[in-house]
Chain A
């Protein structure tokens, strides 16, 4: 009987084959007249805009090319990249810490994390940066002590912190509040059963976070973190509030203050920001693709699993 079945299969197939038309389809593709028209109009518009821009005096392309690789501008690029990198690394670590604290069973940790996020997300980053700049004025030194008893310890060195360090602190603390929310969403996306299974195996809370929960949350955490990096790159232009004046934006501002040509230098700054946000977008694209691939694969293989199961089980 199984023989009969096996024979029926292929012969049926070949019958179908011979009955089917074999030549390739030569259909006329669907036309999109409106789409083409709009594209043509936009193309003409952009060409005339570029043509106009290349001749418009105020853009001053000579100055633009002269300053694009200017030493101060390149130093500014480095400072901006450094600010972005340091601030993001600290923000991610702090954000993980805060998110884990918010999930912890300890009410003290929970409230501290909640208050931190409430404050740093609730006030503008520009205002926070101004405050960090004023830190040494507000607190010339910090003294720990008991009133009417005496001082225990004094930290005199706050005004020794460089403006760069203050900028990193200011940017990272603000960003940490956002990262905490992103990480929290990632942690919440992990099935509760995972924590239970870890617990049932005798894992403590920290161990199960580190080995079980956080690795799974990463898939959810990574894409929005890419957005935050791009956003941070641009937010560094606010460090003038500290005032740190050596980043990319302030470098171009300083130059235009002496050349009286603000527009070409704004173009210089914009070009560099665009270059690096583009690089980051490409990186993010590949990261997202990689993590999406994991999901797509899983979907396929779950469907295939019963077959596999019959074979081995």
Chain B
């Protein structure tokens, strides 16, 4: 993989407001190539909003967000920033995979069709090529028997694994996970975390919003605790989890651990 910059993700003083409500109040953090970062924090602290900003699903109001050295959502014109055209923004999103809490699979398409849709339509891969690759990816997430199943016929865990395969099919350089296991029955959480663990081992750069502290401790390279729109504390997962420095972190961890 060609790397344009030292970091995969650089957030520099990122601000985001919805009307008068400031949700992100200056987020600064770096994610290295191949790093797995877990983002934790109480509900409403802005974790989802921050992930969506990285993918330009939300427009940043202040600061800079760079993915692989490329400014997200804007063109840097020296003094001024120019908003990107929708097609240019779509081009940036291709390289960033996103997995949603509610899977958001396309219900009118089978598992395999879900996976090959974007490679064929967006990346202009040939149909046969996309299908070979799609089957590979579905097999990789343990769904080699479910190519032709519609999402409604799959369990939540299977749906989320299809969603991961669908995102991987675009060969992203960065994967964003927004509480990928929160909508799952407890007994199905493991199969999704297994896939993510394997993905992390393969060297994928990942930002994972999660409440699964066990996964964070075991898999993540770094843990970031966010509260009320700011990064309160970050560091090695074991350190932050075992020895939190801030009261807010301690209070939060005492509730989730």
Contact = CB atoms under 8 A, between A and B. Distances in A.
Contacts, number: 91
Interface stretch (B27-35, B72-80, B97-105, B218-226): B97-105
Contacts of B157: 309, 313
Given A207-B122, A216-B107, A312-B146, A201 B154 contact: no
A309 B155 CA distance: 5
A298 B123 CA distance: 31
Interface residues of A, number: 28
A302 B145 contact: no
B158 interface: yes
A313 B87 contact: no
Nearest to A191: B104
Contacts of A191: 104
Nearest to A192: B104
Interface stretch (B88-96, B236-244, B249-257): B88-96
Contacts of A203: 90, 118, 121-122
B106 A197 contact: yes
Contacts of B163: 197
B158 A313 contact: yes
Interface of B: 55, 57, 86-87, 90-91, 93-94, 96-98, 100, 102, 104-108, 117-118, 121-123, 142-143, 145-146, 152-158, 163, 166-167, 170, 185, 188, 191
28 contacts: A194-B106, A196-B104, A197-B105, A198-B106, A199-B93, A200-B96, A200-B97, A200-B98, A201-B122, A201-B167, A201-B170, A202-B90, A202-B123, A203-B90, A203-B121, A204-B86, A204-B87, A205-B86, A215-B108, A305-B152, A305-B154, A305-B155, A308-B154, A308-B155, A309-B154, A312-B145, A312-B146, A313-B155
Interface of A: 105, 191, 193-194, 196-205, 207, 211-212, 215-216, 298, 301-302, 305-306, 308-309, 312-313
